[in-house]
Amino acid sequence: MKVPEEIIIDLVKNIAGSDTVKLLHVLLKARKNVSEFKIAEKLGISVNAVRNMIYRLQEYNLVSFTRKKDAVKGWYIYFWAFNVPKAVGLIEDMKKKSIEKNEYELENIENTRLYICKPCRSKIKEEEALECQYFCESCGEILEEQDAAKRRRELNRILKKDKEHYKISSELLVKHKEAEAKKLEKALAKEKEEKDAARAVARALKKAEKEKEAEERAKREQEEREKAEADAANAENNNEEDDEDA
């Protein structure tokens, strides 16, 4: 599945942190699973740092692995790959939810006064802000009223990007499902062809076996007839000799 790299990067940044993007580049460029030691070497960081980033991606099932036992040291080495179809499915799901949430906020932006804490990047309603006397309960900073016009522009920008990514991911998933369906159909057709060929071979062997049995039976019957004829001829000769002696 060929996917625009920017939408994968955007996903990874949001769910696993910006530092995992460099790991993502290594996995996407690799043609096969890459060992965590090789990744650490390429990125110039420790294996533990690599594992930390991998585990963050693994929480969303975005990576898969195979493992091989080191013949010398005896421990297992893990080889990792990025699950692109899973990532695309996650993008579609997350963007759909984001679009619904932001469209709702955009529709109600004029009717709701919100207050924000810039250091914490938190947002609360006016009633909650009044209760805490317009100070952030987490860091103590003064809350500022949200600029509705500025927020509207920001929401429209976010929605535009989200809708683009949602459209791309949805189309890619449709193509992927079609490709997988064709692959399955081809595999089933091959399996049927192999089964038909096996049945044909079995029928041919059974037919050959029956023909062999018929030939052997005919041969035995022929031998029995010849023996019977020989015995009858011998008996007749013996009778003639007895008559002569008499």
Give the pLDDT confidence score for residue 239 in this predicted structure: 66
The candidate with the shortest Cα–Cα distance to 140, out of 118, 163, 110, is 118
The whole-number average pLDDT for the span 85-111 is 93
CA distances from 236 to 140, 227, 231, 242 (A): 132, 14, 9, 10
Position 181, amino acid: A
Give the pLDDT confidence score for residue 244 in this predicted structure: 61
The whole-number average pLDDT for the span 65-75 is 86
pTM of the model: 0.70
Asked if residues 66 and 79 have their Cβ atoms less than 8 Å apart, the reply is yes
Beta-carbon contacts of 110 under 8 Å, excluding residues fewer than 6 positions away, are: 148
The candidate with the shortest Cα–Cα distance to 84, out of 17, 192, 198, 7, is 7
Q: How many CB atoms lie within 10 A of CB 209?
A: 10
Beta-carbon contacts of 243 under 8 Å, excluding residues fewer than 6 positions away, are: none
User: How is residue 113 annotated by DSSP?
Assistant: -
Q: CA–CA separation, 71 vs 237, rounded Å?
A: 86
The whole-number average pLDDT for the span 122-143 is 89
The pair of three-digit structure tokens given for residue 196, joined into one six-digit string: 């038909």
| 9-65 per-position pLDDT tens digit | 999 999 999 999 999 999 999 889 999 999 999 999 999 999 999 999 999 999 999
Report helix, strand or coil for 52.
helix
Q: CA–CA separation, 87 vs 208, rounded Å?
A: 56
pLDDT at 243 over 70: no
Average of per-residue pLDDT values in the chain? 90
Q: How far is CA 210 from the centre of its chain?
A: 49
Banded model confidence at residue 91, pLDDT cuts 50, 70, 90: very high
Report helix, strand or coil for 78.
strand
User: How is residue 9 annotated by DSSP?
Assistant: H
DSSP string, 159-190: HHHHHHHHHHHHHHHHHHHHHHHHHHHHHHHH
